[in-house]
Structure 1
């Protein structure tokens, strides 16, 4: 992956890590840098601006820790080129190895610890770019915005993506550049991410001119871990919100929101009762399905099934 930015893009070489960190804060994403207690690490950075994207190749030369409460209006795609990096996020820890890709959403906290020999390629993508592509393609995403629902990937799983990034890096270092060409490439990169990686974006309509209740139900069951917005569901089904509510009243005797909640609880109960389903805790499973108020979740579960979720889990063993 040496083609991901060459020496032609060098901004710092064996420099003060805080100087590099200041540059990164300005161009790539706001963060705090903590240096190791001992030693004098030397950092290096390659950087190019490409349309609305930022391309960055960085190494700090020491076991530094990078943290940020959130990236706010940007996505970070990070590819580990060498060494290792400890990522802490979403109630888990993982050592990234060379060839692994990490996708950080705008509202994800950042907590990364580099090894001495860690080097990364970072692609900064503005939220507005992904949202514009979804609007142009008439793809649907929740009102809360586009989010990637899985954070980690092996590059080998993403067919052709490294070659695409290499091409973009080469274009960014070309002597003569055309803004229209840059914009065309950034559209391809962002579209590839939305199709290769798992997101909360629905790229297919539920139906053409109209949707049956069965097709809407199948769509909901396939997206239960996501925040299914009822207004977006109506748009997907090519019907008014009023017609959607009437369809659910006729076929399910309830509202779309209550129906979605019921299916989520049924899916959770099936997992709690199944010994082959890996459940670390009821709380974690509830959060996976979007139940943020755990007291209300437990009460709703008890009302629907006549027992608490912890009792269902206990009975499986």
Structure 2
């Protein structure tokens, strides 16, 4: 994997392999554990190119010969592909379908699946982290996701899914450009969140019914409050502020937040702040410290913040920062 300039958080993906074990090791590191069988190993010319950024990677992949891939559990990733040329056959739970330029496929964690990729198949490949998908769905549902999100693996390019792939292409063009606006974490976080949100609404999964039901039944003022909170996470909102902004009584606020988010208004805002500070710690620059990030995110009592953070995420904020430092040292 080659690295872009030190000032860019983007990592350029570029590899070429002629040995099956090399190709398999590479893709295991990108997407997750799987088995690769190559009937004609001398014809293998595996190529993967693209950009990795944050919780995602976008690129293209080809093997140049027929290969068979067996997956039991990708564990940490969602692997989404769409052939530009050729086709791949998918077998999943007594069901088979063909993936080609009009039908993509998505492989979820804990979803056993078999792919037969033809020799002339070259495809777009999107990788999204399990953590990012679960976090975004949790935000949309207003609760923690405890059961894995498992998508229907077949993705016909119709309606909103066609638009989703157009968005992927647009993001990939942006990421490949020099001086990309996506190098600003706030910009990429917004793009990535949009990409995941659109996928959660466009592609059926085991939480779709709850997601669509909540969205249709939820009062519009809650969406407006949610947007206001997300835009002002460093602001010390009080319950009185939320009452005034929404024009809703305190009793109604409590009722609706419990009904649709299963928590109180202030606890909901605090949850958003913790997700924000966690994201900041995971992407911290060498000049930032736990205290500076915590205070930027509105946590002024640092001792209490550290205890609450550890209770919530089962690790100290300093551990997250240390892991980020170690990752940066390895990359540079």
- Cα distance in 2 for partners of 1:23, 1:105 equals 19
1:155 to 148, 154, 157: 157
Alpha-carbon deviation of 1:103? Answer: 1.4
What SS class does the counterpart of residue 65 from structure 1 fall into? strand
Q: Runs ≥4 in structure 1, deviation > 4 angstroms?
A: 139-142, 206-209, 235-240
> C-alpha displacement at 1:68, in angstroms?
2.1
SS at match of 2:43: coil
Q: What is the aligned partner in structure 1 of residue 326 from structure 2?
A: none
The one of 60, 82, 87 aligned to 2:85: 82
Change (3 A) 1:140 1:81: farther
Residue 114 of structure 1 aligns with which residue?
117
Question: Alignment partner for residue 195 of structure 1, among 191, 201, 211?
Answer: 201
Instruction: Describe the SS at the equivalent of 1:58.
Output: strand
Task: Please give the per-residue CA displacement for 1:256-292, whole angstroms capped at 9, x wherever unaligned.
Answer: xxxxxxxxxxxxxxxxxxxxxxxxxxxxxxxxxxxxx
Q: What is the CA distance between 1:123 and its match in structure 2?
A: 1.1
1:163, 1:208 → 2: CA distance? 29
Q: TM-score, normalised by structure 1?
A: 0.58
| Higher RCO (Cα < 8 Å, 6 or more apart) | 1
SS at match of 1:30: coil
- Inter-partner Cα distance in structure 1 for 2:136 and 2:71: 27
Give the match for residue 186 of structure 1.
Answer: 192
Q: Please, which runs of 5 or more residues in structure 2 have no aligned partner?
A: 1-10, 220-257, 264-332
Secondary structure, aligned partner of 2:190 = helix
Q: Is the 8 A contact 2:107 2:153 kept in 1?
A: yes
Deviations 1:177-203 (A, max 9, x none): 222222211101000001111122423
Q: How far did 1:134 drift?
A: 2.2
Aligned with 2:75: secondary structure?
coil
1:19 aligns with 2:54: no
Aligned residues: 208
Change (3 A) 1:16 1:175: farther
CA distance in 1, matches of 2:68, 2:261: 48
What's the secondary structure of 1:121's corresponding residue? strand
**Cα distance in 2, alignment partners of residues 44 and 164 from structure 1:** 23
Is 1:130 aligned to residue 113 of structure 2? no
Aligned equivalent of 1:51? 54
Mapped to 2, the partners of 1:19 and 1:238 lie a distance apart of 46
RMSD of Structure 2 on Structure 1 (CA): 2.9
- Cα separation, partners in 2 of 1:52 and 1:10, compared to 1, 3 Å: closer
Decide which structure has greater helix share: 2
Residues of 2 paired with 1:16 and 1:239: CA distance?
52
SS in 2 for 1:170: helix
